[in-house]
A and B are shown apart, each in its own frame.
Chain A
């Protein structure tokens, strides 16, 4: 379980990068919190710097788009999903539970 930041520090429409290995991106989109691997599965770009529209994030380099709920790419050039991770809020603090550690490589 990795602490990210306080909930009030991640307003709706914002994202933050967590420096785990590999790094994780946490988004506050459509009233929910989502966490996915930060590095695009296409090439080398950080999805936390991407363009958020609804539950989709568009990669800032070649505009592949990923669904935050499933990690699945919705368009080229990405063809592989990003992993999704579980997010919880405890006492106002956002935590990420890495998929690998939970044994559910989603």
Chain B
């Protein structure tokens, strides 16, 4: 392979570029990213960056020294608009094309929006530009903030806003947030953190629409409230829409790749075209699409190996792992949980209003086996179980997955 093009210049794209060089690729390496910024880390955007505890320099994923080592051709602020049927030509906005022998798709995901959310004061939180805009708004004095969506990003954003002294309400359509991720019992424990942090949680009602006023000429009307489907209206100066992310596959519409909530890949991140692989939030690897930092950093190793081999010689569905920091608590989860699993607290405890002082460790179990682990502020025993889970998965994997 003489040229490899990485599309998407963020976490998974950077790790893929590193892997290409680490695995001996010494040809032309092209990296295309539609954001103007050098690769930066997203998890702090809703946490320390929003709360003002970390600055932009701390978000950088790489430095000048590494950039020199990578010896890549960076095209930043440039969107890829298409991939030809054979996967050999990447078409860029503005009409330029790049002929390439290999392609790594790492275009990630973008924040889902709400119909009619085109009002001043309405934000999403996916990019550095999003976070800058929101942070600027949060420093303009106390605001009434409604966060739509009680998932991890919504909860972290609410927590950071509350820490800055704003009046915050989280609206969640389901009866409890985070049930799909944690199951009902542990979801209830985490939901309690909102109240502890002084944030109101409204559940079981969707959002019917946003209210705005003013505007005209070149300025947008400003948001004034959120209309709930049960008829209530929550007054708001700032609304943050945190209702999930959609994989960025639009640019691949004209390609021959199979797209279905992500780019369809085998267990080795390879698509139906042997010289095209996909990694990170955009990739549906062996049937699942993760939106986790760790998957985006682990998949590139296997993907690049297969790309350079020209076929799938390695597979690796790593154990899902994610963490979340909210209201001073560090939540860590690893494993594959099922709704029928039982949950057992094995260390620490929970109280009516959330985790006990010092946190807890909970195991999800099925047929006497541990399937997943959840920890609040218990990193050490969490790591032990996480490693055991990863090891046992390796042991059962060959037979279970073929």
Which residues in A have some Cβ–Cβ distance to B below 8 Å? 43-46, 49-51, 58, 60-63, 76-77, 79
Q: Which residues from chain A contact B364 at a C-beta distance below 8 Å?
A: none
CB proximity of A45 to chain B, nearest CB, Å = 7
Assess whether B387 is in contact with A51, with CB atoms less than 8 Å apart: yes
Q: Which residues from chain A contact B297 at a C-beta distance below 8 Å?
A: 62, 76-77
Assess whether B380 is in contact with A60, with CB atoms less than 8 Å apart: yes
Q: Which residues from chain A contact B294 at a C-beta distance below 8 Å?
A: 62-63
Q: Which residues from chain B contact A62 at a C-beta distance below 8 Å?
A: 293-294, 297
Assess whether A61 is in contact with B323, with CB atoms less than 8 Å apart: yes
Instruction: Using C-beta atoms within 8 Å of the partner chain, give the interface range for chain B.
Output: 10 to 19
CB proximity of B233 to chain A, nearest CB, Å = 38
Between-chain CB contacts (< 8 Å), 18 pairs: A43-B58, A45-B379, A49-B380, A50-B383, A51-B380, A51-B383, A51-B387, A60-B379, A60-B383, A61-B323, A61-B379, A62-B293, A62-B297, A63-B294, A76-B18, A77-B61, A77-B297, A79-B66
CB proximity of B329 to chain A, nearest CB, Å = 13
Q: Please judge, given known A-B contacts A60-B382, A60-B383, whether A44 and B63 are in contact too, CB under 8 Å.
A: no
B262 part of interface (Cβ distance < 8 Å): no
Q: Which residues from chain A contact B61 at a C-beta distance below 8 Å?
A: 77
CB proximity of B348 to chain A, nearest CB, Å = 14
Q: Please judge, given known A-B contacts A76-B297, A77-B297, A79-B63, whether A58 and B383 are in contact too, CB under 8 Å.
A: yes
B48 part of interface (Cβ distance < 8 Å): yes
Kindly name the residue among B66, B332, B379 whose own CB sees the greatest number of chain A CB atoms within 10 A: B379
Q: Which residues from chain B contact A50 at a C-beta distance below 8 Å?
A: 379-380, 383
Interface residues of B in 48-78 (CB under 8 A from A): 48, 58, 61, 63, 66
Q: Which residues from chain A contact B332 at a C-beta distance below 8 Å?
A: 60
Assess whether A44 is in contact with B383, with CB atoms less than 8 Å apart: no
Q: Which residues from chain B contact A43 at a C-beta distance below 8 Å?
A: 44, 48, 58
**Given the complex of chains A and B, what is the CA–CA distance between A58 and B63 in angstroms?**
23
**Given the complex of chains A and B, what is the CA–CA distance between A53 and B265 in angstroms?**
35
Q: Which residues from chain A contact B18 at a C-beta distance below 8 Å?
A: 76
CB proximity of B82 to chain A, nearest CB, Å = 32
**Given the complex of chains A and B, what is the CA–CA distance between A51 and B388 in angstroms?**
13
A sample of 8 more A-B contacts (CB under 8 A), given A43-B58, A62-B294, A77-B297, is A46-B379, A49-B379, A49-B380, A50-B379, A60-B380, A60-B383, A62-B293, A77-B61
